[in-house]
Amino acid sequence: MIYNIRLHILSPVHIGCDQSYSPINFVIDTDKSILTEFDLWDFINSLNEKEWDKLREISENSSSISLVHLYRFYAERKDRVKGKTIPIPTELAERYRQVKQFKNEQDMLKGFNEFEIPKTFYNLYSGLPIIPGTSIKGSIRTAYVEGLLKEKGDIKNYRGQRYNEIEEDLLRGKIKTDPFKLLKVSDFEPEDKIETEIIFQLNVRKLNNISRETLSVPIEVIPKNNVFKGTISIEKPLPRSGIKRELELMDILSKTHYHYAGIFTREIDLKKVKGFSLPEISNFKENFRKKYFLLRIGKHSGAEAVTWEGLRQIKVRTREGRRTMESPTTIWLASKQKKPSNLTQTMPFGWTVLEVL
């Protein structure tokens, strides 16, 4: 059975693809706070002979100062730089302006390293962001297994066992007989025109408002209020396949919602203390677990999202050293400021609502 699905993005989402925006391939308009990624070879082909000689001279200089000369060379010809444009925080644009003025080589290298900005997952052909089906399926699987654990009611008997052993027991199958082989999730494409943006990922301690500046680094995200579309299909197990547990969509999604709703509720409580913003869910609430289902995906979803309640063993750093706890001591927030004076304009990552059409 194939189901058409819409995925509503409620808070910034980043799904890594092991690629970054590099200063070698972009320029920043510091007045407009816009980053433009361009094809280096297209840019080179636009140069005249005199400009080409200048670029070659810069590139043959092994000193770090050549980086500054290179970016100034780009900036002087930014009218010829064509490509993908992305809005960035004003602080990041100002930092770019500052780095270009550095004289010390060590400061330059450190400064330009700050501009290796992780990209979110995208379609190689269209250049548009996509939500990989594997990301959605992984989030659903974690929640579904926790639901089976709670139905069984003997969580304490599983303590000390490896996660894969617990999964095999609850799903009644190993790799070849895993029922999730029957669940197929497509990649999700944007429903309408969409533009990504670059923001800061801010790590905040739950016990106070201190954030470590070294962990306030830029990242590309899919902004909230966008919608993606895709499909989920569930196949029936073939005779003699060895798959013992059949999957049913509404049961899977109900368990998924229950898992993430618990985490959302805890973030409501934390919001009262910390003051950050949470996604607006009132438009979906009436039909939760009927048509709409909470789901959390991507980077900074939090350790609780990828572990099971009652069996969590989250490694955290404390003043006494590393400890294993049931809850993380920090939360990652999306922010347009590197170090905001308060958290009212920040928001947790990864919240979505899955809609069954």
Give the residue with greater pLDDT, 305 vs 295: 295
Average pLDDT over residues 248-269: 96
d(CA 321, CA 236): 49
pLDDT averaged over every residue in the chain: 88
CA distance 221 to 198: 6
DSSP sequence for 114-154: TT-EEEEPB-TTT--B-B-HHHHHHHHHHHHHHHHHHHH--
Residue 318: band (very low, low, confident or very high) from pLDDT cuts 50, 70, 90: low
**Within 10 Å of residue 295's Cβ, how many Cβ atoms?**
24
On the question of pLDDT at 345 being above 70, the answer is yes
Residue 284: other Cβ atoms inside 10 A: 18
Collapsed DSSP state (helix, strand, coil) of residue 232: strand
- Per-residue pLDDT at 17: 94
Average pLDDT over residues 91-120: 82
User: pLDDT value at position 215?
Assistant: 63
Arithmetic mean of pLDDT, 181-205: 94
CB atoms within 10 A of CB 157: 9
pLDDT band, very low/low/confident/very high, at 158 (cuts 50, 70, 90): confident
Those residues with Cβ within 8 angstroms of residue 217's Cβ, 6 or more apart along the chain or in another chain: 114, 200, 201
SS3 state at 299: coil
Per-position DSSP letters for 57-106, written without gaps between them: HHHT--STHHHHHHHHHHHHTGGG--EEEEE--HHHHHHHHHHTT--SHH
Q: What is the pTM of this model?
A: 0.90
What is the sign, positive or negative, of the torsion defined by CA atoms of 13, 232, 309, 225? positive
Contact 187, 132 (CB under 8 A): yes
pLDDT in tens, 218-257: 999 999 999 999 999 999 988 888 888 889 999 999 999 9
The predicted structure's pLDDT at residue 209: 57
Dihedral over alpha carbons 258, 260, 266, 270 (to 10 degrees): -160
**Residue 174 corresponds to which amino acid?**
K
- The pLDDT of residue 214 is 44
Is residue 259 scored above 90 in pLDDT?
yes
208 band by pLDDT with thresholds 50, 70 and 90: low
pLDDT in tens, 44-101: 888 999 999 998 998 888 777 787 788 788 888 877 888 889 999 999 999 888 887 7
Tokens representing residue 196 in the block = 């990504």
Return the pLDDT at 213. 42
Burial class (CB in 10 A: 0-12, 13-18, 19+), 167: buried
Per-domain residue ranges of the chain: 2-16+128-356, 23-115
- Distance, in Å, from the CA atom of 190 to the CA atom of 203, rounded to the nearest integer, reads 29
Considering only 42-51, 166-175, 260-269, 313-322, which range has the smallest mean pLDDT?
Answer: 313-322
- How many angstroms separate the CA atoms of 346 and 66, rounded? 37
User: What Rg do the C-alpha atoms of the chain give, in angstroms?
Assistant: 24
Rounded (10°) angle between helices 133-152 and 249-274: 90
Q: Residue written as tokens 């003997």?
A: 154
pLDDT at 86: 94
